[in-house]
Amino acid sequence: MKIDILTLFPEMFSGVLGSSILKKAAEKKAVSYNVVNFREFSDDKHKTVDDYPYGGGAGMVLKPQPIFDAVDYLKNERNANPRVILLCPQGEKYTQKKAEEFAKEDHLIFICGHYEGYDERIREHLVSDEISIGDYVLTGGELGAMVMIDSVVRLLPGVLGNDESPIYDSFSSGLLEHPHYTRPADFRGMKVPEVLLSGNHQKIKEWRENESLYRTKSRRPDLMEKYLLEKNNNIDPLN
């Protein structure tokens, strides 16, 4: 997968992309990152990327020209038709299902905005997806892009040590994940459930499924309601 990131603050990505799973994924050639300062594409002699909004109002608005030209350049350079993702509060709320969808793509372009917002023509004529990572406002789109990139890259084949790991993550099945335990079996009198020490794989599987259902019902009843609705309508909640 190829990931291009358009931002006015490329230095924000160096630590994230150069650490942990994201770094290992690049070393394994599962993904390549390209961080682009779209200010370099401004045709203004002062390299400005924003201007006052028509009609008045507070704040500045990102101009279309630098962002359109940057995306055009990346498309031509890679000879590809990528998903172009705009990070914005008005976008579709990000979910694990969306991460799984993006993980199937060969090329993603993330546009990280700042200031008051984007010229509407960027939304209408350039991007394929508008995404929000939650119902709150950040200074810019960089942190949201980092969250999305991490969630997508870890799903790529060969990135995690065990390719089955993402299958059992919270939200992948529609439910929250079951509890985990490791050694020692008795820590300060707090003991690991006996079933996990039994070696009976069927009973362990059943215990994990029950714990997953209980945890989802008690912590996220909204997810439980959706899970049961899909199950009752003969929709496989695991897909």
Q: Average of pLDDT values for 159-174?
A: 71
Is the CA virtual torsion 76, 79, 82, 87 positive or negative?
Answer: negative
Residues 30 and 142 reside in one and the same domain: yes
Distance of alpha carbon 186 from alpha carbon 130, whole angstroms: 48
Residue ranges for the binding site?
113, 133-138
Residue 92 maps to a domain: yes
Residue 96 maps to a domain: yes
Cβ contacts of 63 within 8 Å, gap of 6 or more: 42, 48, 49, 50, 51, 119
Q: Which domain holds residue 178?
A: 170-232
Residue 160 maps to a domain: no
pLDDT of residue 161: 77
Distance of alpha carbon 84 from alpha carbon 113, whole angstroms: 13
Residue 77 maps to a domain: yes
Domain count of the fold of the chain? 2
- Residue bearing tokens 């009973």: 203
Residues 148 and 174 reside in one and the same domain: no
Residues 63 and 148 reside in one and the same domain: yes
The pLDDT tens digits of the residues spanning 108-133 come to 999 999 888 899 999 999 999 999 99
Instruction: Give the end of a domain, one of 153, 181, 211.
Output: 153
As annotated, the active-site residues are 89, 116, 154, 169
Residues 103 and 204 reside in one and the same domain: no
Structure tokens at 63: 């101009």
Instruction: Give the end of a domain, one of 153, 178, 196.
Output: 153
Residue 164 maps to a domain: no
Its pTM stands at 0.85
Q: Percent of the chain beyond pLDDT 70?
A: 93
Instruction: Give the end of a domain, one of 103, 118, 153.
Output: 153
Residues 184 and 99 reside in one and the same domain: no
pLDDT of residue 153: 98
Residues 148 and 185 reside in one and the same domain: no
Residue 209 maps to a domain: yes
Residues 126 and 189 reside in one and the same domain: no
Residues 175 and 107 reside in one and the same domain: no
Residues 73 and 138 reside in one and the same domain: yes
Mean pLDDT of the chain: 93
Residue 239 maps to a domain: no
The pLDDT tens digits of the residues spanning 66-111 come to 999 999 999 999 988 999 999 999 999 999 999 999 999 999 999 9
What Å distances lie between residue 42 and 19, 48, 97, 109, CA to CA? 31, 6, 35, 18
pLDDT of residue 234: 66
Residues 112 and 58 reside in one and the same domain: yes
Residues 121 and 179 reside in one and the same domain: no
With CA atoms as reference, report the closest residue to 145 among 1, 41, 4. 4
Residues 140 and 94 reside in one and the same domain: yes
Start-end of H helices in the chain? 14-17, 20-27, 64-78, 96-102, 120-125, 142-153, 194-197, 201-219, 221-232
Residue 161 maps to a domain: no
Check which CATH number belongs to the domain holding 213 and give it. 1.10.1270.20
